Amino acid sequence: MSSLAARASGEVSLETVGRRAEARLVFARGGGATVLTRQHVPYPFHVTRVFRLHPEAPDLASLYLQSASGGLYRSDHLSLAIEARPGARAFVTTQAGTVVHRGGPLPTRQETRVGIGTDAFLAYTPDPLILFPGAHLNVTTEIEAAPGARAILTEGVACHDPTGRDLPFDRLSMSLRIADPAGRTLVRERSALDGEAFTAAASPLGRHRAYGTMILLAPAEILPAPRLLQAEADAFGCLAGASPLPNGAGLGLRLLASDGGRLSAGLEALARLAFRALSGCEPSRRRK
Amino acid sequence: MIEPVLADLIALQQGDTAFPSGSFAFSNGIEGLAAQEPGFGEVELARNVSAALDFRWAGTDRVALVLAHRTGADDAVASERLSAIDAAVEAASLSEPMRTGSRRNGASLLAAHARLGTPGAAALRAAVRTGTLFGHLATVQGALWRALGLSEERAASVAGYAFASGLTSAAVRLGLVGAIEAQRVLSGALPRIARILEYPVDDPQDEDIVLTGFTPLIEIAAMRQAQAELRLFAN
């Protein structure tokens, strides 16, 4: 029985409906430091404690997101909201890529909402999503940034067949919206493609098999030059292009790589470069 | 409504490369692709024309054109609606060279129609000048071709043809393929365009204009080429 039919008949199981969870993290500035003032982290989300990894910037809070369940499953609907209140400075990342398992007629949904207050800094740089054969994923990212906010946001997808047969994922939809505090849309991008198109001869990725994006929000004078970012990606065997976003929203970068490993290395290198430019300090990470 | 034969002739005129639409100045990423891919030829051109049609024109430019055609610019309400469609194209175009290329091409087409006296062209041009309209090519095509009496279907057909022939013509001018190879690629693209034209375009719900696109390779090529010291095309 299909998921839709199951819903119509009232026979709703965990397999057909998937898990529903909404996590929320709020960073605020207080006492000269950034503090995680609110955290609601239901299963399957899990977070580490806040680390102080930047001696030259002791106010900067670092937090690692973990999955307690080994990835995203059929029809999951997981939402994450991260807010950096005015003046707060936070670095949120993951400890590994997230596997997206085979889906069904209803997509697995991952929603991320990010709010960055005035003079706040937020780097949210999760490792890439790894789409397994048959994965059906819908990724939505909503960003609201106040004037003077600084942010680094990355997103990446790659496909992998653990059986070695190079079977494609089913379908991928991605959506990005950046708005100002008044709700005015500055950037609104939607895309959708199926796994066969992703790897076809006429793929919009060319011969590449992994895709990433990085959004940088900051006053124009501190944004790194597109040429610098592109050269950094080149050094990691990736292909990147960067340019100003619509409506003066910031800088947008697209990245292509041969596989998830190169994509991950390229995105991390680019995020490091951007981190230095936007935060004024060298990014530091816990060993993964 | 105009007679079908006359409509066909107007459509041919609008799709003719002799019409001063300004499109000759834009390669829409082909020049950048050739720069980063040595040996770029007929096979590569055909693949990228297919990708651009399927993952850019079908869900972004075509949809904006159809919505603009349905809207027109006959009164203040329609003009406001047209501005919203145009703003959605702007917001959906992350790559600056593609975004500004679309605006500049739209401005060129508007200038030609204003000089020809096409109904509504002067007002649209004024709206671009005052900043109430970005003037993206798809929006302008939809509004102007409606004013000329072309049906929604004919307008979309002409735009799809012009989009593909613009890419193949750019490849010829760059010396990447010969005229016969370019026409072979274009011939191969025509059934794809015809298939795309069959996709329905729904009217927006809750003012949310849904444009979809995904052409990272072409956009990266255009973004990198925009920084080149020497280039033939504007994008």
Tokens for A73, please give them: 């499953």
Q: Is A76 helix (H, G, I), strand (E, B) or coil?
A: coil
pLDDT digits (tens, 9 = 90+) for A48-88: 888 888 888 889 999 999 876 779 999 999 999 999 999 99
Q: How far is residue B166's CA from residue A228's CA, in Å, rounded to a whole number?
A: 31
- CB count within 10 Å of CB B172 equals 17
CA distance B28 to chain A (A): 14
The verdict on residue B230 lying in a domain is no
The verdict on residue B233 lying in a domain is no
Tokens for A175, please give them: 């959506």
Residue with tokens 């949809």: B63
Residue with tokens 């992350």: B94
A208 in contact with chain B, both atoms CB, cutoff 8 A:
yes
The verdict on residue A154 lying in a domain is yes
The verdict on residue A288 lying in a domain is no
Q: Is A164 helix (H, G, I), strand (E, B) or coil?
A: coil
Q: Is A218 helix (H, G, I), strand (E, B) or coil?
A: coil
Give the pLDDT score at A56.
83
Q: Is the distance from CB of A243 to CB of B223 less than 8 angstroms? A: yes
- Identify the CA nearest to A128 among candidates A152, A99, A153: A99
CB atoms A243 and B95 under 8 Å? yes
pLDDT digits (tens, 9 = 90+) for A94-142: 988 999 999 999 999 999 999 999 999 999 999 999 999 999 999 999 9
pLDDT at A288 over 60: no
Q: What ipTM was estimated for this complex? A: 0.93
Number of domains composing chain B:
1
The verdict on residue A26 lying in a domain is yes
A220 in contact with chain B, both atoms CB, cutoff 8 A:
no
Q: What is the DSSP letter of A47?
A: E
- CB count within 10 Å of CB A161 equals 14
Cis peptide before B38 (omega within 30 of 0): no
Q: How far is residue A79's CA from residue A22's CA, in Å, rounded to a whole number?
A: 5
Minimum CA–CA partner of A207 in chain B: B217
CB atoms A189 and B94 under 8 Å? yes
Q: How far is residue B65's CA from residue B140's CA, in Å, rounded to a whole number?
A: 8
Q: How far is residue B70's CA from residue B64's CA, in Å, rounded to a whole number?
A: 10
- Identify the CA nearest to B188 among candidates B25, B45, B80, B65: B45
Question: Residues 209 to 228 of B: which have CB under 8 A from any A CB?
Answer: 210-224, 226-227
Give the pLDDT score at A233.
97
The verdict on residue B232 lying in a domain is no
**Cβ neighbours for B101, distance < 8 A, ≥ 6 positions apart:** B26, B28, B222, B234, B235
Q: Is the distance from CB of A130 to CB of A159 less than 8 angstroms? A: yes
Band (pLDDT 50/70/90 cuts) for residue A210 is: very high
pLDDT at A8 over 60: no
Give the pLDDT score at A1.
37
In DSSP terms, A150 is beta-bridged to A121
CB atoms B223 and A193 under 8 Å? no
Lowest mean pLDDT across A132-141, A232-241, B161-170, B202-211: B202-211
Tokens for A263, please give them: 């994509």
Minimum CA–CA partner of A225 in chain B: B227
Minimum CA–CA partner of A187 in chain B: B91
Band (pLDDT 50/70/90 cuts) for residue A204 is: very high
B50 in contact with chain A, both atoms CB, cutoff 8 A:
yes
Q: Average pLDDT in the B11-17 region? A: 93
Q: Which of A39-53, B45-59, B63-77 has the highest mean pLDDT?
A: B45-59
The verdict on residue A83 lying in a domain is yes
Give the domain extent around A164. Answer: 19-220
Q: Is A239 helix (H, G, I), strand (E, B) or coil?
A: strand
pLDDT at A7 over 70: no
Give the pLDDT score at A16.
60
Size of interface A-B (CB pairs under 8 A): 96
The verdict on residue A105 lying in a domain is yes
> Where is B30: in which H helix or E strand?
helix B30-36
- CB count within 10 Å of CB A12 equals 12
pTM of the model: 0.93
Q: Checking DSSP bridges between strand A171-179 and strand A150-159, what pairing results, if any?
A: unpaired
The verdict on residue B142 lying in a domain is yes
Give B-chain residues touching A204 at CB under 8 angstroms.
51, 54-55, 214-218
Q: Is the CA virtual torsion B159, B161, B167, B171 positive or negative?
A: negative
The verdict on residue B43 lying in a domain is yes
CA distance A225 to chain B (A): 11
Give the domain extent around B169. Answer: 4-225
Give the pLDDT score at A286.
60
pLDDT above 90 covers a percentage of chain A that reads: 80
- CB count within 10 Å of CB B159 equals 26
Q: How many residues does chain A have?
A: 288
Q: Is the distance from CB of B85 to CB of B204 less than 8 angstroms? A: no
The CATH number of the domain holding residue B90 is: 1.10.4190.10
Q: How far is residue A177's CA from residue A228's CA, in Å, rounded to a whole number?
A: 26
Q: Is the distance from CB of A279 to CB of A60 less than 8 angstroms? A: yes
Q: Mean pLDDT score of chain A, rounded to an integer?
A: 91
Give A-chain residues touching B35 at CB under 8 angstroms.
none
Q: Mean pLDDT score of chain B, rounded to an integer?
A: 94
Choose, out of A171, A177, A188, A213, the residue to mutate when testing the contact with B (most B CBs < 10 Å): A188
Band (pLDDT 50/70/90 cuts) for residue A287 is: low
Q: Average pLDDT in the A142-160 region? A: 96
Minimum CA–CA partner of A199 in chain B: B51
Band (pLDDT 50/70/90 cuts) for residue A10 is: very low
- Identify the CA nearest to A77 among candidates A140, A125, A128, A7: A140
Q: How far is residue B122's CA from residue B147's CA, in Å, rounded to a whole number?
A: 12
The verdict on residue A251 lying in a domain is no
